[in-house]
Amino acid sequence: MRTLGYLGPPGTFSHTAALHYAELHGYVPVCCSSLDALVHKVANRELTCSIVPVENSQGGSVVETLDLLTEVEGIWIIAELLLPVKQHLLVRPGVRLGDIERIYSHPQALSQCRGFLKKQLPDTPVVETISTASAALIVADAEAAIYAAVGSQSAAVSYGLQILLADIQDQAANTTRFVVLGKEKPVFSGEAKTSLVLAVQDAPGALCRLLNPLVQREINLTRIESRPAGSKLGDYIFFIDFEGHPGSPNVGEAIMELRINSMWLKVLGYYPSAAQVDSSIHRQTVQAIDLPSLRREIDRVDAELLSLLTSRQRLVEQVAAFKSVDTVVDKKREKEILYRVKELAEQNSIDPDMIEGIYRQIFQGAVRRQVEMLTLCQ
């Protein structure tokens, strides 16, 4: 099973990015509790890949991600993905703007909506949370229905909240850049971007000498950022992204010169540009969330579930051709399926005991159907 880790809980923007990438590339999304876990689980082969936020157009870089990319060995950036960030004011159904007594959200989400909050809710206390999804959960579980959360449409759907006001972020073009991390070195052809991190000696003209190999070869630099090296004040490391693939002669030569001009250098990865990975994300629209629309969404999901159960039943009927009445029940196979679906349920914050009960009913129905078919064939 190909798994894709994301920073949970469900309803975060990381969850939204993971769902898009997983659908396109055939992964099963797996919720993780920290960026550290996402990176190390890929390095230890506990996850096939992970998707992590690396920078936001308004809030800047995600420092923890940059530090982990520098420190952890044996992982590669294999893709990037740009997700438009649409922040909404989420409340329980029936709450009006003037009713709100407290606002919850992640610090970065709050900073992205600072202007709106100052203008619309200037005297309302603001409480920081570990994620926008946890803020939505607090509002949904509160005994008093007078709280609000700043978060995504996904968080509203996940926790049964209403979007009171949509698109409240101060910058309309607010975007978060995610990168996908894998254990295997990427193999692909075509247009590419390369990311690396390096350290230079603190000396006059050090940065100029560092960038010269890229300038001489007319390699387009798309990002450069410095971070304190952690050794002493004044020592910095640089994160650099540029267009091109290390397999091409000019990029390969440039990286060799960069190594010569730096104290140390680590290639973080090379990957297709975000437009090649997923252009459909940029067509995402925001819909108002209210009780009728939530119920319509539930009806749509129910229809999909029934369609999938119908497909499963057809497969069960085909399996019957390979069995006899005495071999219809396969306890080993049932045990394997139960273990897998309960594990997936737990990873996605669904009660595994409930899922086990559902699947035991599915098993009983499958056995009855196979026995019927085998009896008719005798």
CATH code at position 280:
3.40.190.10
Same domain, 297 and 373: yes
Amino acid in the structure at residue 37: A
Give the angle 75-80-82 at the CA atoms, nearest 5°. Answer: 145
**Are the CB atoms for 163 and 89 separated by under 8 Å?**
yes
User: Could you tell me where the DSSP H helices lie in 121-168?
Assistant: 132-141, 153-159
Distances (CA, A) of 27 to 19, 21, 47: 9, 8, 10
Interatomic CA distance for residues 80 and 200, integer angstroms: 26
Give bridge partners of residue 84 from the DSSP assignment: 175
Is 176 tagged catalytic?
yes
Number of domain units in the chain? 4
**Are the CB atoms for 43 and 72 separated by under 8 Å?**
yes
Same domain, 57 and 179: yes
What pLDDT shows up at residue 56?
83
Q: Which of 90, 41, 96 has its CA nearest to residue 68?
A: 41
Q: Which of 83, 95, 76 has its CA nearest to residue 20?
A: 83
**Are the CB atoms for 9 and 31 separated by under 8 Å?**
yes
CATH code at position 199:
3.30.70.260
What pLDDT shows up at residue 377?
66
Same domain, 193 and 159: no
Same domain, 183 and 282: yes
What pLDDT shows up at residue 197?
94
What pLDDT shows up at residue 231?
62
Classified as helix, coil or strand, 143 is: coil
300-306 LR contacts (CB < 8 Å, sep 24+): none
Same domain, 158 and 183: no
Structure tokens at 249: 């002669």
Same domain, 363 and 326: yes
Same domain, 44 and 184: yes
CATH code at position 332:
1.20.59.10
Q: Which of 12, 65, 178, 363 is flagged as catalytic?
A: 178
The last residue of one of the domains, among 287, 321, 346, is 287
Amino acid in the structure at residue 279: S
Classified as helix, coil or strand, 256 is: helix
Is 178 tagged catalytic?
yes
Q: Tell me the DSSP string of 330-373.
A: -HHHHHHHHHHHHHHHHHTT--HHHHHHHHHHHHHHHHHHHHHH
pLDDT per residue rounded down to tens, the chain (378 residues): 789 999 877 888 888 899 889 888 889 889 888 899 999 999 999 999 999 999 888 778 888 999 999 999 999 999 999 988 889 999 998 889 999 999 999 888 898 899 999 999 999 999 999 888 889 999 998 877 789 999 988 888 888 899 999 999 988 778 889 999 999 887 776 788 999 999 887 777 777 888 888 898 999 999 998 887 766 555 778 999 999 888 888 888 999 988 888 889 999 999 987 743 343 343 333 344 456 666 776 777 787 788 788 888 888 888 877 777 677 788 888 888 988 888 877 766 688 889 999 999 998 888 888 888 777 666
E strand segments, the chain: 3-7, 28-32, 49-56, 60-61, 76-84, 88-91, 102-105, 126-128, 147-151, 162-165, 175-182, 193-199, 221-228, 236-243, 264-271
What range defines the domain where residue 365 resides?
Answer: 291-377
Q: Which residue has the tokens 């990873």?
A: 347
Same domain, 280 and 181: yes
Interatomic CA distance for residues 75 and 94, integer angstroms: 48
What pLDDT shows up at residue 19?
87
Same domain, 36 and 161: no
pTM: 0.67
Same domain, 178 and 276: yes
What pLDDT shows up at residue 175?
87
Q: Which of 3, 48, 129, 176 is flagged as catalytic?
A: 176
Same domain, 58 and 181: yes
Interatomic CA distance for residues 146 and 309, integer angstroms: 40
What pLDDT shows up at residue 281?
41
What pLDDT shows up at residue 147?
94
Same domain, 65 and 180: yes
What pLDDT shows up at residue 284?
39
